[in-house]
Structure 1
Amino acid sequence: MQNISILGCGWLGLPLAETLIDKHYNVKGSTTQTEKLPVLDAVGIDAFLVNITSESINTEFLNADILIILITSKDHEAFKRLIKFIEISSIKKVIFISSTSVYPNTNAVVTESSPNSDSPLVGIEELFRQNTAFETTIIRFGGLFGYQRKPGNFIRAHNTIPNPEGFINLIHQDDCIQILIGIIEKNIWNQTFNACADSHPKRADFYTKEMAKVGRLHPILDPDSDNVYKIVSPKKLISALNYTFKYSNLMDY
């Protein structure tokens, strides 16, 4: 059975680790907070304190077959240093979690071959993509939601929905986990995938519905918005994994 290290056992990394453990993978997980170590230990994760801004990374944490990077840092130099540690470790496969924010708003459908914005994530993706010491698959997740992350709470400023005529690109935690497991089990490497639900309702319709669920009724649709947007296509991912989203129709969520 493969050994998997998860860099960042937070909102997504912790339940991912628990699912992998249930599938009998050996899982190491990291946190930057000492008080969270017992939380990881309690569910069977071999827990480590890891901060990529440090001058060194615990070599035992990197003693694994696969590394899943689930942190939100955009520190280019820290990732360069992390990669040097990966190069001298046993890790041969990496999943790097990126974001659909790398695409500019073009008021059109975007795919993995669409132009990127001037985003720090693009440069960090390239660090992994160009490295030949290990194989990397990059997953560009849409907006994350599910369980305690309720979309009805995403809109805060003055209860006003900006870009109401735009479209959403979201993905549920459950789908994120199954996609990551699918990449591992199908052994799909050296690829870049968009990952978001394959439905894209208008922001006005979706957020009005979701805000009502948390008791926030009658939101204002910003009349002065430019209504800029992008529609992120997950077709490449669906084809590669033969994947069916658990939460496909976001208006039924």
Structure 2
Amino acid sequence: MKIKTVSIVGCGWLGLPLAQALVKQGYIVSGSKRSMEAAAALTHEGIAGFSLDLDKQQFNGSVIGECEPGFDESTLAMLHQRLHTHAIIINIPPAIVKSPGAYQQRLSFLKRLMAQHEYMRIIFVSTTGVYPSSEKPVRESDATPHSPSSEVLLEAENLFSEQPNSCVIRFAGLVGPGRHPGRFLAGKQNLPGRESPVNLVHLDDCIGAVSCLLSGNSLSPVYNICANQHPGREAFYSAAAKDLSLEVPTFSEESQVGQVGKCIDGTKISTELGFQYRYNDPLAMLGECN
């Protein structure tokens, strides 16, 4: 059976263009926004929008209690229609620093909403923040709880990785429309890691990778998504700032000892599933980020 219906939890900077792309590919797409007004606006994009605020535990304006059997019939019907699709893409920003503990609560609540529905594919959007610094290329099996935030991220992945037909997709630094890397470090002074490798991925490649996972067979549990070229931080962010006529950042001249950084290997999805990146050179992304 082919995947025909997809639910995207979180139609923000990544989720909305992803939903739009999947609609163009012929999928029937449901997408969540936190407010009812924003959810209703998705219908103009051909997306079946629904309101889902995982902080307030609301669904289409109805407060959801601790026990799902307490739902009224109309709420349950809407819930099943929007979330119980062939495939679900879970795209919830961690925001770990701003709201410690909230990420796990949101995901645990979502998992309850998903109930015992049998999905043909569960795609959990994660980040390459799960990897520690390394002098060698970092692959999917190298994730370790090396910091408090990485512990949270790995725990979040584990909530869904044990589900049947699940796959974790770990994105490197996201760039694209509205996210020009020239603004990331512009004007900052005496930064560390001047030669540390840059790990970025363009929005278009994120969308392409998720589309690949929806249509692919025999997936691995985890895939990194990152451009294959890794310029040094000083060279790249100086060029990126100049591209926007912003003040170029400066980097410390001190030794790189203890500032190794990491170089994300994003080739697994290409070798296993034939995925082709549109942007392998972060410098080539600059013109596509305004």
Assess if the C-alpha contact under 8 Å between 1:93 and 1:189 holds in 2: no
Structure 1 186/92 Cα, relative in aligned 2: closer, same or farther at 3 Å? closer
CA shift, 1:155, in A, is 1.0
Decide which moves more: 143-152 or 209-218. 209-218
The aligned counterpart of 1:76 is 104
Structure 1 221/41 Cα, relative in aligned 2: closer, same or farther at 3 Å? same
In the alignment, does 2:255 pair up with 1:221? no
Structure 1 39/183 Cα, relative in aligned 2: closer, same or farther at 3 Å? same
Q: Percent identity?
A: 30
In the alignment, does 2:63 pair up with 1:33? no
Unaligned stretches of 5+ residues in structure 1:
none
Tell me the distance in 1 between the aligned counterparts of 2:240 and 2:224.
24
CA shift, 1:159, in A, is 5.1
The aligned counterpart of 1:85 is 113
Tell me the distance in 1 between the aligned counterparts of 2:160 and 2:195.
36
Superimposed CA distance per residue, residues 104-146 of structure 1 (whole angstroms, 9 cap, x where no aligned partner) = 1123321111141342010111121123xx3111001000001
Partner SS state of residue 89, structure 1:
coil
The aligned counterpart of 2:50 is 48
In the alignment, does 2:124 pair up with 1:96? yes
Moved over 4 A (4+): none
- Out of 211, 232, 249, the residue aligned to residue 202 of structure 1 is 232
Tell me the distance in 2 between the aligned counterparts of 1:188 and 1:6.
22
Assess if the C-alpha contact under 8 Å between 1:62 and 1:89 holds in 2: no
Decide which moves more: 9-18 or 69-78. 69-78
Structure 1 188/222 Cα, relative in aligned 2: closer, same or farther at 3 Å? farther
Q: Which amino acid aligns with 1:249?
A: D
Q: Which amino acid aligns with 1:30?
A: S
Partner SS state of residue 15, structure 1:
helix
CA shift, 1:161, in A, is 4.4
Partner SS state of residue 29, structure 1:
strand
Structure 1 127/190 Cα, relative in aligned 2: closer, same or farther at 3 Å? farther
Assess if the C-alpha contact under 8 Å between 2:126 and 2:171 holds in 1: yes
Tell me the distance in 2 between the aligned counterparts of 1:3 and 1:197.
29
The aligned counterpart of 2:280 is 248
Structure 1 157/51 Cα, relative in aligned 2: closer, same or farther at 3 Å? farther
Tell me the distance in 2 between the aligned counterparts of 1:162 and 1:148.
26
Partner SS state of residue 6, structure 1:
strand
Q: Which amino acid aligns with 2:112?
A: K
Alignment of 1:182-193 (within 5 A): 182-189=212-219, 191-193=221-223
Decide which moves more: 202-211 or 185-194. 185-194
How does the TM-score come out when normalised to structure 1?
Answer: 0.91
Superimposed CA distance per residue, residues 76-107 of structure 1 (whole angstroms, 9 cap, x where no aligned partner) = 23322322332333534210000000001123
The aligned counterpart of 1:168 is 198
The aligned counterpart of 2:6 is 4
Structure 1 100/247 Cα, relative in aligned 2: closer, same or farther at 3 Å? same
Tell me the distance in 2 between the aligned counterparts of 1:90 and 1:47.
22
Partner SS state of residue 105, structure 2:
helix
Structure 1 204/198 Cα, relative in aligned 2: closer, same or farther at 3 Å? same
Q: Based on CA coordinates, which of the two structures has the bigger radius of gyration? A: 2
The aligned counterpart of 2:181 is 151
Superimposed CA distance per residue, residues 33-61 of structure 1 (whole angstroms, 9 cap, x where no aligned partner) = 33322431211110001123314683332
Unaligned stretches of 5+ residues in structure 2:
58-63, 66-75, 97-102, 286-290
